[in-house]
Amino acid sequence: GNSVTQMEGPVTLSEEAFLTINCTYTATGYPSLFWYVQYPGEGLQLLLKATKADDKGSNKGFEATYRKETTSFHLEKGSVQVSDSAVYFCALRDLTGGFKTIFGAGTRLFVKA
């Protein structure tokens, strides 16, 4: 079945550091891939997505590239801010899973000033 594996947290960085959160997936079909962000006390928000191989999703300085050959969708940001402190979820969705989205366990990011 479909699954998503992301790196365990927490990840602690200083402000302006480079961020990478690893995500790999297993899927029987051709999934769309997503990153969601959850700030304290809020629901998840869609951060970016990519719907086919080699697509790059980007938003708010975050980027992720859909790599079919390595079944990966790593999240990156060149310079993090304290306001980026949150939990980040990698997810996939495809027709073989019906309309459901499979979420990773989440990675907590702490950014220190």
Partner 1 sequence: DAGVIQSPRHEVTEMGQEVTLRCKPISGHNSLFWYRQTMMRGLELLIYFNNNVPIDDSGMPEDRFSAKMPNASFSTLKIQPSEPRDSAVYFCASSPSSGGTDGYTFGSGTRLTVV
Provide the binding-site residues for partner 1, judged by CB under 8 A. 31-32, 34, 36, 42-46, 49, 51, 89, 93-95, 97-101, 103, 105-106
How far apart are CB 109 and partner 1 at their closest, in Å?
16
Q: Which of 40/113 has CB closer to partner 1?
A: 40
How far apart are CB 91 and partner 1 at their closest, in Å?
8
Q: Which of 69/99 has CB closer to partner 1?
A: 99
> DSSP readout, 78-91?
SS--GGG-EEEEEE
- 73 in Cβ contact with 65 (< 8 Å): yes
Q: Which of 62/89 has CB closer to partner 1?
A: 89
- 46 in Cβ contact with 64 (< 8 Å): no
Q: What is the end-to-end Cα distance of the chain in Å, rounded?
A: 41
54 exposure class (CB count in 10 Å sphere: 0-12, 13-18, 19+) = exposed
How far apart are CB 38 and partner 1 at their closest, in Å?
8
